[in-house]
Structure 1
Amino acid sequence: MAATHRVTAGAVVAAVCAASLAGCGTGTDTSREGAHGPDKAKPAPAPENAVRLIGDGSTAYTGTQPHLPRPERLKAGQRPPQFVVFSWDGAGEDSQRLFSHFRKVARDNDATMTYFLSGVYLLPEDKRDLYRPPQHPPGRSDIGFNDARGIADTVEQLRLAWLEGNEIGTHFNGHFCGGSGGVGDWSVADWKDEITQAKRFVKTWKTNASMATAAPLPFDYDKELIGARTPCLEGRKNFLKAARDLGFRYDSSGVNNQVWPEKKQGLWDLSMQLVPFPGHTFEQLTMDYNFMVNQSGTTTQGDPSQHKRWGDQMRDGLLQGFYRAYHGNRAPLIIGNHFESWNGGTYMRAVEEVVKHVCTKDEVRCVSFRQLVDWLDAQDPETLRKLRTLKVGEAPKEGWASFLSAGPAPAPRGVPGAPAVRP
């Protein structure tokens, strides 16, 4: 994956805009300009990389996403790569510029990531009543809404992130945790409604924010959206049923040990994981918020004299979990974060140090959830079954070559991991 993410901001925006003048304009359909009646010759098919605006032009089809590696099926006796997924809940760009900062961190370290977008981050405050949250009055959101500058900045980061090979998932909308009407009480129908609205806000941000001349997001969100993490990891039971019906491919809302994933209700279970918590006898969830709660409670700006120590605890815990897998069962390491400066930004420092430490190591692939599930889907099911027999930190006693010595069944043509069709 080395050297596959060297894309400048100017180049990627130009690529979207240059492919179609309408892509950076009002979204008006100009495809029939110059027509002179029914005898006009049919136009040639659009090239694969042509921009095709969707709806009001908030999104567009621009072809296959760049910088996605082709998943390959493991060969007999081959040791699996060590996957690491860095994911961000409620991803948006604000005055802290953490979204843009971590895009650069990813590029500099041969990594791609998953950004779980909150739909209300693309909805202006004066249009808040367009959001009708399940079991709450219209216009209610526990994380607020956005303004024109915030929407423009967030859209820019989403656009560039996707063009660099990162994934745009969803963190839904109003982030209702606990209490009456919280996501833990939502029905399957409630979840489907919430997902529909999250998609709608992405597909109509130009209209809602009155930004008709802005460049579109370069993807079809109905196809791009294949996974999520629920607010506060709540409401998973009914969410999984809704997500399966809507064609999602994975969920990252659970809690699990560092073992190889399996499918639940038709979706890959890519749960958050428990890793060592330095200085404690119990293990900790791989998320900045959970480290914070076990250090400073719900106070987001605790004792400044402890900030460095707390960040070091998170960094070292994640690294211990990484090496436990890297030298053990090679189970993917799933890490979750928020673009927040809790406790002086110490958790952002910790995550950045982990990215820089692990992502350029041999046989390590820092990938998005999409890339991980593409790889999982490409594998022989028997190989995955064997991998799931390994416990936390357990390397095969007989070595990888012997453990996975049986030749995997060849992948059928046309599925991820299959040999390319030769002309």
Structure 2
Amino acid sequence: MSVAGSSAGRRNTVRKRVLAVGALAIALTSGLAGCSGSGGPGSGGSGPAGARGDTGAKKAPAAAPQNAVRLIGDGSTAFTGAQPHQPVWRKLAPGQQPPQFVVFSWDGAGEDSQKLFSHFRKVGKRYGATMTYFLSGVYLLPEDKRELYDPPQHSPGRSDIGFNDVQGIRDTVRELRGAWEEGNEVGTHFNGHFCGSDGGVGTWSVDEWKSEINQAKSFVKNWKTNAGLKDEKPLPFDYDKELVGARTPCLEGRKNFVRAASQMGFRYDTSGVNDQIWPKKDEGLWDLSMQLVPVPGRAFQTLSMDYNFLVNQSGTTKGNPSMHEYWGNQMRDGLVQAFERSYRGNRAPLIIGNHFESWNGGTYMRAIEETIAKVCVQKDVECVSFRQLADWLDAQDPAVVAKLRTLKVGEAPPAGWKSFLAAQPAVPAGAPAAAKPAPQH
């Protein structure tokens, strides 16, 4: 079984993971954390979004032919042509209502004995949901090669989430391969998952982030050599090109990470805390951070992630079993309420983060699956990866995105979408500029 996937090793880090967000005027006292440090090695989605013409997507391309395969490096990765099942987005037509995007994403994705990665790949295909899997690089590095990892501000071979074993690497690569072929995205959750003030990612410099990113890439690009799995199939993508976004451990260190990522060709980051409004760019990257969502029955909001609901409910991964069903329902209902206020309001993308964990009896996995089943099948809804959402945003007129950002949380255009996004009258060529008002005295 995977070392990285062992419940004990991962859960020992849970108590470190609470994110301090002092100035938020919301009662989140202990409820705002980015990640538990778990994410054990795993799941994926599907990719039929490209077939939905009513939301601006053209037909998805077919998979690349076999003869397009070109091995890269030691054969751990390969170029296999364009990724299948990708939507080709169009600009919104004047007066057109935007689709409702929902992104489901997984921190530290890998496959362990819980088999949650493989399970959620099936869920994604069942409900037409494409997802993003943030792989922790050390999940492709075997324990006996741990010294190959040289983490910033820590000694070589150190990792707060452990490493993996050969079978765990084989299983994780199998799921990553299948997920990508189904249209899902493989991002990164970096490597050792260090949080806090003692050498945590929040203290790293831009250069230290670059080192961490390059090492995360290296573990993916050399897993065959490092794990002695020369006869396994390669991952079907060039990771230098595939990797365009990330979520930092515990949502710490975002400022310097974004600076490093913008210099390394990344396209988005999801390491901050946002309201449910349309995104903007930061240092050239789309800020697609998770969002504050309702906690039904409570007078505050929390972050749209399983761990944050847990902190506000039980404060432990092994809470009162008699409360498990209630806690799962509360998370599901909070996410659905967040979806409804966007869907019927400003149509801002809903961003959701998760871990492949069985905390509180697996109630949060049930909550996520039930949320996917409810929202991804609705009209004009696109359950997409972060990369696909960034593609759609880049395809739009920047002035349209800027106007969408003027809508507040849950606010629908007062006069309707047709009026709100109506075409602006063009100024005829050679027409005189509008007269300036006379100065006031």
TM-score normalised to the size of structure 2?
0.82
Partner of 2:340: helix, strand, or coil?
A: helix
Q: Mapping of 1:95-174 within 5 angstroms?
A: 95-174=113-192
Q: Quote the Cα distance in structure 1 between the aligned partners of 2:358 and 2:408.
A: 35
In 1, are the aligned partners of 2:48 and 2:85 still within 8 Å (CA)?
no
The one of 270, 277, 288 aligned to 1:252 = 270
**Judging changes above 3 Å, is the alpha-carbon distance between structure 1 residues 388 and 4 closer, same or farther for their aligned structure 2 residues?**
closer
Is 1:322 equivalent to 2:339 in the alignment?
yes
Shift of 1:179: 3.0
Q: Which amino acid aligns with 1:179?
A: S
Q: Which amino acid aligns with 2:208?
A: D
Q: Quote the Cα distance in structure 2 between the aligned partners of 1:165 and 1:319.
A: 25
Q: What does the per-residue CA deviation read over 1:238-274, in whole Å, with 9 as the maximum and x for residues that have no partner?
A: 0010000101000000001000000011100001100
Q: Which amino acid aligns with 2:266?
A: F
The one of 236, 247, 256 aligned to 1:218 = 236
List gaps (5 residues or longer) in structure 1: 6-14, 20-48, 410-423
In the alignment, what sits opposite 1:305?
322
Q: Mapping of 1:172-321 within 5 angstroms?
A: 172-297=190-315, 299-321=316-338
In the alignment, what sits opposite 1:87?
105
Q: Which amino acid aligns with 2:331?
A: M
Shift of 1:407: 5.7
TM-score normalised to the size of structure 1?
0.85
Q: Quote the Cα distance in structure 1 between the aligned partners of 2:290 and 2:48.
A: 26
Q: Quote the Cα distance in structure 2 between the aligned partners of 1:62 and 1:284.
A: 41
Displaced runs of 4+ in structure 1, greater than 6 A? none
Q: Quote the Cα distance in structure 2 between the aligned partners of 1:4 and 1:269.
A: 23
Q: Quote the Cα distance in structure 1 between the aligned partners of 2:102 and 2:77.
A: 29
In 2, are the aligned partners of 1:258 and 1:274 still within 8 Å (CA)?
yes
In the alignment, what sits opposite 1:390?
407
Shift of 1:4: 7.0
Q: Quote the Cα distance in structure 1 between the aligned partners of 2:416 and 2:357.
A: 42
In 2, are the aligned partners of 1:62 and 1:218 still within 8 Å (CA)?
yes
In the alignment, what sits opposite 2:396?
379
Shift of 1:129: 0.4
Q: Which amino acid aligns with 2:102?
A: V
What RMSD in Å do the two structures reach over aligned CA positions?
1.5
**Judging changes above 3 Å, is the alpha-carbon distance between structure 1 residues 56 and 281 closer, same or farther for their aligned structure 2 residues?**
same
Q: Which amino acid aligns with 1:184?
A: G
List gaps (5 residues or longer) in structure 2: 1-46, 52-62, 427-441
Q: Which amino acid aligns with 1:122?
A: L
Is 1:349 equivalent to 2:391 in the alignment?
no
Q: Which amino acid aligns with 1:401?
A: K
Q: Quote the Cα distance in structure 2 between the aligned partners of 1:2 and 1:159.
A: 18
The one of 83, 89, 113 aligned to 1:65 = 83
In 2, are the aligned partners of 1:87 and 1:115 still within 8 Å (CA)?
yes
Partner of 2:326: helix, strand, or coil?
A: helix
Q: Quote the Cα distance in structure 2 between the aligned partners of 1:285 and 1:348.
A: 16
Partner of 2:89: helix, strand, or coil?
A: coil
Q: What does the per-residue CA deviation read over 1:310-358, in whole Å, with 9 as the maximum and x for residues that have no partner?
A: 1011000000000000000000000000000000000000000000000
Q: Quote the Cα distance in structure 2 between the aligned partners of 1:189 and 1:205.
A: 24
In 1, are the aligned partners of 2:49 and 2:382 still within 8 Å (CA)?
no
Q: Which amino acid aligns with 1:71?
A: W
Q: What does the per-residue CA deviation read over 1:358-387, in whole Å, with 9 as the maximum and x for residues that have no partner?
A: 001000000000000000000001111110
Partner of 1:377: helix, strand, or coil?
A: helix
- Identity across matched positions, percent: 73
